[in-house]
């Protein structure tokens, strides 16, 4: 889209893609645990939803101060998940989706049937109720916190402009058509058209970090006709009519018009995204007067508040499958005991009674225990002094960090610092580097001297002496001036003036700030800018003034930006444009050096940008302006029509001015990090918007590829024959690093995804160039689908959000592009090097500890169940409980919980060893810590221990049967505590305390009753 006087949202062409125009709406949820729209769960939720979905529609309304519009969504923010009426229904439904909870609910309900009753109801309903109570209280507390925040936002006071002055109303009473005054540092309560501002320039800055995560300020432009009015209330005198398109999620696009009567004629002005201030943004300068167009559910901020689906770790899926196996195992034992008894008349009831007795096998406490230990893991990560600033946003995924086999990483701002510096300027026959700043400044002084002095005098001087040298020097100076002047004008940078002094620059792209800083060093300083003009100060303090006529901002699709300016001194009109070489090559005049120099700069690791211009005659500009204005007021396909006019009337046969090379410095310790991760067996894919030469240079400098590794480049594939040939070549080079461009990648994704993934996933490193945000997410999903391995995605920009959410683990870096990636990720970090400790230490420990804790809890249930089976078998296969009531409850709670939970402190190697030998991480990726094999080993141990305890107890104390329960239960407790001791590899003080507390609590409870422990039954 291209519109005049834009907010100047641009980014240098060879940089990574910006967040796509609809980056928020394109946030793709992970590809697992997605609810089906036609499923029971979806219908159940729909039935209990608290409000009906609003029907989005376009709107036209009069702006006269006397009409209210109540037929649109009320301006009420509601982020609560539940209502008073549906809370219990939804929370219980969510909880009983889990197999364990459903199983124990059935077991507990069976105790209401007299013939199946095995003990006190509290024995069975207690543990289930405890688990549910914790969850319900947590959900209720979280929802109450959301309610308080919503109430605070809905009750915030705003000034509403009426025909009789201003009145103060709460945010919840704001309606479509209201004129609202928003002061500096105040939150915008609804989506509004910026009608007027107290800033003389007719613009105001807004902060959008709470909307899109970007930290740079955005420039918004008031409607010119209303900005010229003397007072805000004069707006009502126009009796204007406002048209706004139907609401949608795209915060970078808006189509609207405002019409009014003037001199007996109806005039229409177009409204675009730069005229809008969205809800949840903050006014950063002046006082804004806005006309409300969208409220409540129609606001962009609300429409983009999509709750992503919850990711579940692989260990949860494995434990869920093991629980089902244990259920089958308990049914098998029950059937065997009933069969050995001979299937008597009550065999079906006996089967159910045995199932109830063996319910210990299914560990109901497993989920609660894992939640507790994961909370501990999260706190350890967040409080680690070596990785300060790391935040855990998904507390159920720490174990996933220990099983990563594929790492998908962005480049700009992730592997690099996103700190830009202009390193090289090339004009075909001459180039300038950082060391040539003084030379460039001299050329500029010379060029402007020739322009501003008497031309006749210069001609006379030029005819004397070495005319060739003078002519050559002037020619180079003029060309240098043209290029540097283009760099000083064609951008979206706004200077921030404080107390009359230039303090800093604001822009959406660090590339542009780097270029403007460089032009300042050589003598062209951007000293003033508003929506109508740009002022450039020369080294001699002379000011050059330019009138801004039109701006065509950068987009991910166009990969270029342009500006039309009129030089006030001469009246000359120029169209300047800069962009990626891939698109600018087709727009500029023929040349024989651009492609070669772009490749040379890319091999140096520089981000390239092509600069061009065209001088427009007055007639050509008027013709363009008329066609462009007609496209601007169109209500249908406005953006496409505007771009078509620009392409047809401006973007051809441009004069090539030069080429810039910008360096993006590498992140600290990125080389060491990538080398350690590669040695840990993790295959690394770098996904970047840069060209092939730049990407391969970064791959070498970051040690993404090893010294002995070669590149295998695949590019410009657009036919089946070429794709098949590339696959055959790839099959023979699996030890190479694959480098593929976006065009070829898309062809493989569309036509040969399976065979491409088969070979590419076997390579240790892959570099994808010219990669779009949608392609990044598609790659993550394809790797998951094809390999079923755990994938980690890391990035720092809004264009990485879809990839981050598509991976099993998403890591977001809080970078210069904002916090959008950080907020959407499962883990938020400060820099890329944090991954070393996050994966190799915290991830490894989390997975090994959770595996050990889970298997101990399963073992605890198996042992007591085996003892129950032996007891029943000895006593004529009767379904009678060995341990009942308090013994049954205490065994899995207060007698053994602390020692088992203390295993979350255990580790097999020190931190130094884990980081020094990353090969230790490889073993975890195979999932050997928790497999069917390890389960069967624990099953055999449980059978041996349970059978031995019962057999020895009965053999030794057969004459004192009353003591069998006491002795066997004591032996069971001591066995569990001893097993924990034997499994500990690194002792911690808390482990010893937990063992002693369990022993003390057990024997104290025996002494307190002052009788045989069998009385507990």
Give binding residues as ranges. 410-412, 512, 554, 578, 607, 688-690, 770, 776, 796, 799-800
Containing 676, the helix (H) or strand (E) segment is helix 670-679
Annotated binding site for Mg(2+): 410, 412, 796, 800
CA nearest neighbour of 179 among 65, 275, 339: 65
Strand order in the sheet with 683-687: 391-392, 827-829, 809-813, 790-795, 404-410, 683-687, 765-768, 737-740, 711-714
Q: Which residues pair with residue 525 across a beta bridge?
A: 537
Number of residues that this document lists for the chain: 1017
Measured CA to CA, the distance from residue 585 to residue 579 in angstroms comes to: 9
Burial of 470 (0-12, 13-18, 19+ CB in 10 A): middle
Measured CA to CA, the distance from residue 800 to residue 772 in angstroms comes to: 9
User: Would you name the residues annotated as active-site residues?
Assistant: 410
Which residues make Cβ contacts (< 8 Å) with residue 931, sequence separation at least 6?
Answer: none
Measured CA to CA, the distance from residue 828 to residue 847 in angstroms comes to: 19
Annotated binding site for ATP: 410-412, 512, 554, 578, 607, 688-690, 770, 776, 799-800
CA nearest neighbour of 226 among 174, 290, 181: 290
CA atoms within 13 A on the CB side of 9: 24
Q: Is 741 helix (H, G, I), strand (E, B) or coil?
A: coil
DSSP line for 606-631 = EEEEEEEEEEE-HHHHHHHHHHHHHH
Measured CA to CA, the distance from residue 248 to residue 303 in angstroms comes to: 7
Decide if 956 contacts 964 (C-beta within 8 A). no
Q: Which two tokens stand for residue 17?
A: 């893609």
Measured CA to CA, the distance from residue 938 to residue 78 in angstroms comes to: 49
Q: Which residue is associated with the tokens 């308090």?
A: 886
Containing 720, the helix (H) or strand (E) segment is helix 720-731
DSSP3 helix / strand / coil % (the chain, rounded to 5): 50, 20, 35
Q: Which two tokens stand for residue 549?
A: 């006529």
Measured CA to CA, the distance from residue 803 to residue 777 in angstroms comes to: 4
Alpha helices in 761-906 (DSSP H): 773-787, 801-806, 820-824, 834-837, 844-874, 886-891, 897-901
Q: Is 183 helix (H, G, I), strand (E, B) or coil?
A: coil
CA nearest neighbour of 100 among 366, 279, 280, 438: 366
CA nearest neighbour of 546 among 522, 523, 562, 530: 530
Q: Which two tokens stand for residue 555?
A: 């987009």
In this structure, are strands 157-162 and 179-182 parallel, antiparallel, or unpaired? antiparallel
CA nearest neighbour of 514 among 658, 413, 662: 662
DSSP line for 295-309 = -GGGSHHHHT---PP
Q: Is 908 helix (H, G, I), strand (E, B) or coil?
A: coil
Q: Which two tokens stand for residue 203?
A: 């613009």
In this structure, are strands 683-687 and 765-768 parallel, antiparallel, or unpaired? parallel
CA atoms within 13 A on the CB side of 753: 14
Strands (E), 472-532: 494-498, 501-506, 525-529
Decide if 577 contacts 550 (C-beta within 8 A). no
Decide if 480 contacts 471 (C-beta within 8 A). no
């Amino acid at each position: 889209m291209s519109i005049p006087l834009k907010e100047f949202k641009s980014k240098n062409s060879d940089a990574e893609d910006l967040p796509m125009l609809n980056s928020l709406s394109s946030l793709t949820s992970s590809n697992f645990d997605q609810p089906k729209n036609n499923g029971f769960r979806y219908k159940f939720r729909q039935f209990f939803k608290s409000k009906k979905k609003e029907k989005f529609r376009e709107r036209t309304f009069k702006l006269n101060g006397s009409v209210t519009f109540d037929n649109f969504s009320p301006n009420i923010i509601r982020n609560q998940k539940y209502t008073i009426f549906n809370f219990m229904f939804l929370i219980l439904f969510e909880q009983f989706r889990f197999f364990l909870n459903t199983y124990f609910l059935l077991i507990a309900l069976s105790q209401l049937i007299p013939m199946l009753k095995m003990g006190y109801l509290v024995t069975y309903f207690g543990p289930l109720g405890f688990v549910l109570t914790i969850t319900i209280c947590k959900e209720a507390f979280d929802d109450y916190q959301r309610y308080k925040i919503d109430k605070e936002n809905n009750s915030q006071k705003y000034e509403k402009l009426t025909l009789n002055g201003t009145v103060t109303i709460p945010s919840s009473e704001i309606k479509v058509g209201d004129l609202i005054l928003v002061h500096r540092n105040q939150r915008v309560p609804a989506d509004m058209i910026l009608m007027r501002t107290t800033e003389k320039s007719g613009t105001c800055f807004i902060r959008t970090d709470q909307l899109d995560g970007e930290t740079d300020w955005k420039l918004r432009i008031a409607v010119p006709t209303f900005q010229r009015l003397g007072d805000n209330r004069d707006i009502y005198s126009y009796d204007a009519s406002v048209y706004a398109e139907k609401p949608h999620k795209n915060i970078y696009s808006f189509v609207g018009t405002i019409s009014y009567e003037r001199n007996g004629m109806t005039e229409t002005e177009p409204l675009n995204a730069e005229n809008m201030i969205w809800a949840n943004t903050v006014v950063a300068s002046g006082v804004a007067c806005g006309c409300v167009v969208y409220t409540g559910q129609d606001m962009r901020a609300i429409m983009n508040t999509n709750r992503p689906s919850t990711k579940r770790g692989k260990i949860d899926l494995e434990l869920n499958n093991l629980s089902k196996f244990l259920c089958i195992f308990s049914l098998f034992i029950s059937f065997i005991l009933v069969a050995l008894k001979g299937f008597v008349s009550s065999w079906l009831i006996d089967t159910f009674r045995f199932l109830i007795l063996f319910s210990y096998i299914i560990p109901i406490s497993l989920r609660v225990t894992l939640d507790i230990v994961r909370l501990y893991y999260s706190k350890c990560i967040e409080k680690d002094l070596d990785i300060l600033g790391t935040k855990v946003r998904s507390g159920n995924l720490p174990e996933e960090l220990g099983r990563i086999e594929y790492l998908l990483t962005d480049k700009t701002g992730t592997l690099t610092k996103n700190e830009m510096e202009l390193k090289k300027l090339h004009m075909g026959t001459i180039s300038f580097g950082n060391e040539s700043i003084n030379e460039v400044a001299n050329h500029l002084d010379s060029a402007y001297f020739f322009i501003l002095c008497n031309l006749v005098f210069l001609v006379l001087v030029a005819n004397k002496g070495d005319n060739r040298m003078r002519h050559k020097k002037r020619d180079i100076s003029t060309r240098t001036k043209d290029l540097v002047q283009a760099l000083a004008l064609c951008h979206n940078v706004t200077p921030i003036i404080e107390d009359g002094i230039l303090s800093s620059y604001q822009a959406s792209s660090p590339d542009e700030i780097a270029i403007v800083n460089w032009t300042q060093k050589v003598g062209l300083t951007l000293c003033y800018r508003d929506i109508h003009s740009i002022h450039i100060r020369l080294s001699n303090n002379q000011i050059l003034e330019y009138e801004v006529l039109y701006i065509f901002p950068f987009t991910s699709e166009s990969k270029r930006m342009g500006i039309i300016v009129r030089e006030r001194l001469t009246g000359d009109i120029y169209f300047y444009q800069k962009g990626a070489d891939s698109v600018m090559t087709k727009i500029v005049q023929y040349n024989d050096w651009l492609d070669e120099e772009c490749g040379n700069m890319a091999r140096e690791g520089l981000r390239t940008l092509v600069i061009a211009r065209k001088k427009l005659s007055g007639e050509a500009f008027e013709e363009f302006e008329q066609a462009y204005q007609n496209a601007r007021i169109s209500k249908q396909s406005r953006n496409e029509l505007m771009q078509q006019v620009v392409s047809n009337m401006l973007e051809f046969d441009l004069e090539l001015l030069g080429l810039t090379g910008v360096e993006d410095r590498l992140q600290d310790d990125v080389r060491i990090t990538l080398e350690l991760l590669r040695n840990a067996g993790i295959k690394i894919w770098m996904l970047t918007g840069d060209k092939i030469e730049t990407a391969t240079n970064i791959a070498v400098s970051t040690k993404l590829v090893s010294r002995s590794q070669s590149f295998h480049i695949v590019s410009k594939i657009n036919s089946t024959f070429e794709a098949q040939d590339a696959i055959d070549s790839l099959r023979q080079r699996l030890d190479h690093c694959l480098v593929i461009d976006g065009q070829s990648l898309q062809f493989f994704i569309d036509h040969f995804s399976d065979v491409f993934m088969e070979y590419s996933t076997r390579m240790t490193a892959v570099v994808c160039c010219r990669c779009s945000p949608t392609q990044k997410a598609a790659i993550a999903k394809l790797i998951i689908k094809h390999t079923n391995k755990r994938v980690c995605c890391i990035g720092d920009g809004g264009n990485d959000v879809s990839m981050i959410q598509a991976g099993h683990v998403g890591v977001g870096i809080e970078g210069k592009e904002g916090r959008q990636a950080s907020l959407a990720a499962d883990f938020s970090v400060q820099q890329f090097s944090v991954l070393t400790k996050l994966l190799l230490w915290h991830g490894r420990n989390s997975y090994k500890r959770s595996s050990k804790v889970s298997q101990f809890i399963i073992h605890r249930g198996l042992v007591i169940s085996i003892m129950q089976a032996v007891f029943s078998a000895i006593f004529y296969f009767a379904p009678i409980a060995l341990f009942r009531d308090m013994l049954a409850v205490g065994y899995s709670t207060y007698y053994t919980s602390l020692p088992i939970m203390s295993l979350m402190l255990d580790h097999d190697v020190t931190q130094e060893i884990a980081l020094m030998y990353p090969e230790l991480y490889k073993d975890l990726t195979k999932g050997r810590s928790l497999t069917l094999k390890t389960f069967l080993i624990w099953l055999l141990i449980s059978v041996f221990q349970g059978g031995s305890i019962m057999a020895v107890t009965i053999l030794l104390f057969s004459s004192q049967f009353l003591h069998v329960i006491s002795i066997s239960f004591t032996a069971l407790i001591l066995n569990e505590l001893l097993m924990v001791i034997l499994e500990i590899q690194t002792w911690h003080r808390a482990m010893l305390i937990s063992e002693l507390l369990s022993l003390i609590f057990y024997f104290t409870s025996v002494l307190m009753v002052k009788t045989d422990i069998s009385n507990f039954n």
